[in-house]
């Protein structure tokens, strides 16, 4: 019997994502001037206020207040009408030094013996239902909001858009887990006040979303996904009605509250640990990236159509306490999942330092992860410039989304004789 599956995304202007982007930009600045910085930075945003908290151990100082304001302005909160602006909000910093007890459990003289920054389990997932090996409903949800943000910044075709928005996509699958059609799409977008009455305003917004946004999204999708769009899709456009009050004025935002949006949209699994604001010694982040890297390369190599990888750690301990693999019965090799996991552990070194080194995680690469998902994006090299009133200016060429590289496909094929 066919079944439905739904995933959602939120925009860069959503309060929780504002918080994530501030936390990750602070992290990037610490790493840019001191790659050995240990950072666990949390952000709260609400009406007219930003609160920064957490623990940092670093040899550098950064202007955390100015960095937070710059992020807010870059997202698009620049007007008094939004009741939240980078130029006018208050910024309170409660950041203090990292606990020595945590530090001594992680750092070692020999970097290879670095212990895990925390206990817990992390998951990585991949599926061959999309070209980027991500769940389809989440991939479309992200693309809807990325395109909506482009339209907002262009300010031409839909000039009334404000930064806060959400999307949701429901897809019907066949019994053999093949997407059949899109059943429903939800788009809620913050907007300026309208001169027209509420009914006319809602008609205008719905018309623009259906006639301008959705066609632009479809153009980016491969033909097999475009065919899933149909005349029977149920569209819910701003279903609650008027949406002028939004962003941190409408709802407080916190770092780490959108972990399902950040990962796989409810597919696979999640260990519960958030990513943003944490340096890579925190395995909540680094091991989740490494597990995605493993899962993606396994699926790309043809080992299985769908893979979930779990890895777990004890704080201060070098070797993972477990590595497991779930192929959902789609494996193309005559091996049980437990046997596959043992071979995976031989191919991929999942010690914390090895992950940092392999994926180049001690670089300032995290601001780009903090909106529209940490997984599924195209790896690329960019040059970034950081300025500090205390340390001057530094220019760094860095690789983004290294965990999305298919650089272990040949090793997987060789190990499993694919």
| Residues identified as active-site | 14, 16-17, 42, 55, 166, 243, 251-252, 257-258, 278, 282, 284
For tokens 């807010």, what's the residue?
72
Q: Using an 8 Å Cβ cutoff, are 356 and 350 in contact?
A: no
| 83 assigned to a ligand binding site | no
For tokens 């019907």, what's the residue?
172
Residue 368 φ/ψ, nearest 5 degrees: -70, -20
| 16 assigned to a ligand binding site | yes
| 198 assigned to a ligand binding site | no
- How many other C-beta atoms are found inside a 10 Å radius of the C-beta of residue 406? 15
- How many other C-beta atoms are found inside a 10 Å radius of the C-beta of residue 278? 27
Crossing angle for the helix pair 352-359 and 283-300, to the nearest 10 degrees: 60
> For strand 161-173 and strand 179-191, is the pairing parallel, antiparallel, or unpaired?
antiparallel
| 231 assigned to a ligand binding site | no
Q: Using an 8 Å Cβ cutoff, are 204 and 212 in contact?
A: no
| 399 assigned to a ligand binding site | no
Most distant CA pair in the chain: distance in Å? Answer: 68
| 362 assigned to a ligand binding site | no
Distance CA 243, CA 268 (A): 33
| 55 assigned to a ligand binding site | yes
Instruction: Give the containing element (helix H, strand E) for 206.
Output: helix 198-208
Q: Using an 8 Å Cβ cutoff, are 180 and 1 in contact?
A: no
Q: Which of 29, 107, 91, 23 is nearest to 388 (CA)?
A: 29
| 251 assigned to a ligand binding site | yes
DSSP letter for each residue of 311-349: EEE-BT-SS-SEEEEE-TT-BSSSS-HHHHHHHHHHHS-
Chain center to CA of 315: 24
Distance CA 22, CA 84 (A): 14
Q: How do the residues of the chain divide into helix, strand and coil, expressed in percent and rounded to 5?
A: 35, 25, 40
| 349 assigned to a ligand binding site | no
| 242 assigned to a ligand binding site | yes
| 274 assigned to a ligand binding site | yes
Distance CA 375, CA 296 (A): 10
Instruction: Give the containing element (helix H, strand E) for 141.
Output: helix 136-154
| 282 assigned to a ligand binding site | yes
| 156 assigned to a ligand binding site | no
SS (HEC) of 378-416: CCEEEEEEEEECCCEEEEEEEEECHHHCCCCHHHHHHHH
Binding positions for Mg(2+): 16
Binding positions: 14, 16, 42, 55, 98, 164-166, 242-243, 251, 257-258, 274, 278, 282
Binding positions for L-methionine: 55, 98, 251, 282
Binding positions for K(+): 42
């Amino acid at each position: 019997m066919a079944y439905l599956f739904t995933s959602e995304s939120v925009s860069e202007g959503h309060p929780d994502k504002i918080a994530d982007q501030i936390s990750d930009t602070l992290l990037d600045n610490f790493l840019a001037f001191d790659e050995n910085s240990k950072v666990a930075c949390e952000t709260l945003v609400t009406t007219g206020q930003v609160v920064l908290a957490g623990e940092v151990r670093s040899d550098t100082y950064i202007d955390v207040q100015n960095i937070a304001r710059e992020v807010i302005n870059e997202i698009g909160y620049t007007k008094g009408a939004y009741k939240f602006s980078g130029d006018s909000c208050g910024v309170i910093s409660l950041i203090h030094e990292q606990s020595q007890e945590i530090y001594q459990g992680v750092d070692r003289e020999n970097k290879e013996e670095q212990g895990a920054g925390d206990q817990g389990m992390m998951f990585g997932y991949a599926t061959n239902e999309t070209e980027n090996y991500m769940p389809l409903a989440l991939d479309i949800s992200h693309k809807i909001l990325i395109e909506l943000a482009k339209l907002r910044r262009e300010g031409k075709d839909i000039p009334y858009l404000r930064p806060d928005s959400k999307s949701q996509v429901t897809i019907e699958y066949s019994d053999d887990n093949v997407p059949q059609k899109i059943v429903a799409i939800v788009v809620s977008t913050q907007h300026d006040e309208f001169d027209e009455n509420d009914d006319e305003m809602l008609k205008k917004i719905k018309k623009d979303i259906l006639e301008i946004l959705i066609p632009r999204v479809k153009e980016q999708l491969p033909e097999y996904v475009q065919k899933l769009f149909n005349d029977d899709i149920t569209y819910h456009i701003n279903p609650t009605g008027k949406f002028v009050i939004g962003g941190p004025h409408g709802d407080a935002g916190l770092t780490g509250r959108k972990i399902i949006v950040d990962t796989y949209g409810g597919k696979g699994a999640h260990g519960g640990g958030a990513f943003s604001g944490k340096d890579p010694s925190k395995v909540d982040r680094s091991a989740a990236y490494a597990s995605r890297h493993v899962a993606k390369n396994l699926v790309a190599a043809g080992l299985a159509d769908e893979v979930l990888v779990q890895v777990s750690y004890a704080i201060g301990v070098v070797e993972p306490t477990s590595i497991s693999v779930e192929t959902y019965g789609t494996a193309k090799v005559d091996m049980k999942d437990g046997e596959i996991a043992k071979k995976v552990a031989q191919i991929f070194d999942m010690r914390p330092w090895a992950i940092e080194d392999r994926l180049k995680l001690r670089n300032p690469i995290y601001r780009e992860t903090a909106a529209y998902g940490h997984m599924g994006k195209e790896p690329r090299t960019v040059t970034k410039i950081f300025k500090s009133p205390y340390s001057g200016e530094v220019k760094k060429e860095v690789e983004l989304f290294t965990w999305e590289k298919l650089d272990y496909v040949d090793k997987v094929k060789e190990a499993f004789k694919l």
